[in-house]
Amino acid sequence: MEITTERIKTAEGVEGFLARPKSGKVPALLVHFEIFGVNEHIQDVCKRLAAEGYAALAPDYYFRLEKRTAPYTDVKTAFGLALTLKDDQVMADIGSCLRYLESQPFVESGSIGTLGFCMGGRLSFLTATHHPKEIAAAVSFYGGGLAGENHREGQTINAMEEASKLRSPLLLLYGELDQHITPEHVDLFTERLKQLGKGYQSFVYRGAGHGFFCNERGSYNPTAAADAWQKTLEFLAANLKSSGPATP
């Protein structure tokens, strides 16, 4: 499938990277980055999703800063970037990006999902709880902070409390050896979802650590990454795609 990419700016000035099929009316996704920013990996994820028939927009929540990305080898700088983010402002930026997608002629009405990694995995979940009418599916790759663990200054929204607002199906993907999100954290969060009767799927990959999906990180696990990607595509297709793409 032929795709096109561009840098966009919403009406409120939020910037982002957009990849989409060159023609047709398709479902859309917000793709939330790790603490490292809208780097080559996140852009590649958007391109891969576009090749599968989605309009994938990665909001750049660091657009107000002079420095917007950090290499995977410089975790200190990446955490410094993340510390500049405040939940209320990020939620406002997410709302702006959703309105942008809803206004585009290439986006299929009622077919918007959300997907994110690490910090972005938490944001993906919060996008679904803050916009239950707009979000039809949510995916969280090793979402940090969902059970209240490792909270940073500025992260004022309690995901455990927000869970009651979830309406869309949710796909959770974790690594067994993740030192940041332990099995206890995973169990605590999924038990909360279970108690609330929410529709979710949770997979924990044996032998995989944090960041297992990213082929630019030392923790990359190709077997887990391939399976998680396949599960993600099946989940998104089941919840976002109709019988076939419409024409604009």
**8 A C-beta contact, residue 93 and residue 122:** no
pLDDT of residue 243: 39
Q: What is the pLDDT of residues 124-176, one digit of tens each?
A: 999 999 999 999 999 999 999 999 988 888 999 999 999 999 999 999 999 99
Q: Per the domain annotation, does 54 fall within a domain?
A: yes
Q: Number of C-alpha atoms within 13 angstroms, CB side, residue 18?
A: 21
Strand-strand pairing, 15-21 and 3-9: antiparallel
pTM of the complete model: 0.96
Sheet containing 135-141, strands listed edge to edge, beginning at the edge strand earlier in sequence: 3-9, 15-21, 55-59, 26-32, 107-117, 135-141, 170-175, 200-205
The boundaries of the domain holding residue 229 are: 3-240
Q: Per the domain annotation, does 224 fall within a domain?
A: yes
Q: What is the pLDDT of residues 58-86, one digit of tens each?
A: 999 999 999 999 999 999 999 999 999 99
Long-range CB contacts for residues 95-98, cutoff 8 Å, separation at least 24: 95/130, 95/131, 96/10, 96/11, 96/12, 96/14, 97/10, 97/14, 97/16, 97/30, 97/57, 97/59, 98/30, 98/127, 98/131, 98/134
Mean pLDDT of all residues in 219-235: 98
Mean pLDDT of all residues in 33-51: 98
Q: Per the domain annotation, does 201 fall within a domain?
A: yes
Q: Per the domain annotation, does 45 fall within a domain?
A: yes
Find the CATH number of the domain harbouring 28. 3.40.50.1820
Q: Which of 118, 130, 131, 185 is catalytic?
A: 118
Neighbours of 169 (CB within 10 A): 18
Our answer to whether residue 227 is catalytic in this structure is no
pLDDT of residue 247: 34
pLDDT of residue 151: 85
**What is the rounded CA–CA span in Å between residue 135 and residue 122?**
15
**8 A C-beta contact, residue 172 and residue 143:** yes
CA angle 98, 5, 171 (to 5 degrees): 50
**What is the rounded CA–CA span in Å between residue 248 and residue 245?**
9
**8 A C-beta contact, residue 111 and residue 137:** no
Q: What is the pLDDT of residues 167-208, one digit of tens each?
A: 999 999 999 999 999 999 999 999 999 999 999 999 999 999
Q: Per the domain annotation, does 247 fall within a domain?
A: no
Q: Per the domain annotation, does 246 fall within a domain?
A: no
Res. 95 pLDDT band, cuts 50 70 90: very high
Q: Per the domain annotation, does 248 fall within a domain?
A: no
Res. 245 pLDDT band, cuts 50 70 90: very low
Res. 248 pLDDT band, cuts 50 70 90: very low
pLDDT of residue 242: 72
pLDDT of residue 150: 83
Our answer to whether residue 118 is catalytic in this structure is yes
Number of structural domains, the chain?
1
Mean pLDDT of all residues in 38-50: 98
Model confidence at 244: pLDDT above 60: no
Q: Per the domain annotation, does 164 fall within a domain?
A: yes
Res. 246 pLDDT band, cuts 50 70 90: very low
Our answer to whether residue 210 is catalytic in this structure is yes
Q: Which of 32, 41, 130, 210 is catalytic?
A: 210
Mean pLDDT of all residues in 24-36: 98
Q: Which of 41, 130, 178, 185 is catalytic?
A: 178
